[in-house]
Amino acid sequence: MSISKLSPMNRLTDVARGEHVFAALLTALAAYMFVTAYDFPPAARLFPQAASGLVLVAAVLRVVNRFIPYEFTRNDSVVLSGSDADESSTSETEDRTRMLVLGTLITGYIFVGYAVGLFWVTPLFAFAYLVYTRQKWWVTAIITAALTGVAYVFVVLMNVDIVTGGI
């Protein structure tokens, strides 16, 4: 049984892409977080408002990503030859490998972070993930530095001990 191209679900997915729905959800949650932070004392509202502001910026960038000039996006791989069957089997293998590597990185982040402290593991995880996804060197450097800064904010402003681990 096949679904025609003009089915209501296809029309809905053409209008509301998953990334836009996710960005709208993030925007709504961040706006709620930003507004409700005003109930806190001035010193306590700083971090929730800063975090929600970052989420708002990231959500907007996610939506605007389609309009960014191509030279600023990650390089695409090009298949020069081969049939569609080869391409689909290769993409399935690549997807499995990508999922396995990502799962290993996340699991390692959790366990090593618990052992030695999330502050030390966060930049290593970010760097390893971004290098694996073949991001440009300057994107890798900026995101790794930003995540290190976020971890530092947790230590300083929130007074959360993520420097020492469980060992």
Check whether residue 65 and residue 109 sit in a common domain.
Answer: no
Check whether residue 66 and residue 111 sit in a common domain.
Answer: no
Q: Confidence band (pLDDT; 50, 70, 90) for 124? A: very high
With a cut of 70, say whether residue 164 has pLDDT above it: yes
Structural domains counted in the chain: 2
**32 near 55, Cβ under 8 Å?**
no
**128 near 109, Cβ under 8 Å?**
no
Query: Whole domain around residue 124: which residue ranges?
Result: 99-167
Q: Which of 55, 50, 44 is nearest to 22 (CA)?
A: 55
pLDDT value of position 87: 54
With a cut of 70, say whether residue 74 has pLDDT above it: no
Residue 96: both structure tokens together: 């499995």
Q: Confidence band (pLDDT; 50, 70, 90) for 77? A: low
Q: Confidence band (pLDDT; 50, 70, 90) for 80? A: very low
Q: Confidence band (pLDDT; 50, 70, 90) for 116? A: very high
% of the chain at pLDDT higher than 70: 73
Tokens 């005003």 belong to which residue?
Answer: 38
Domain boundary among 50, 70, 90: 70
* 79 domain residue, yes or no: no
Mean pLDDT across 88-103: 80
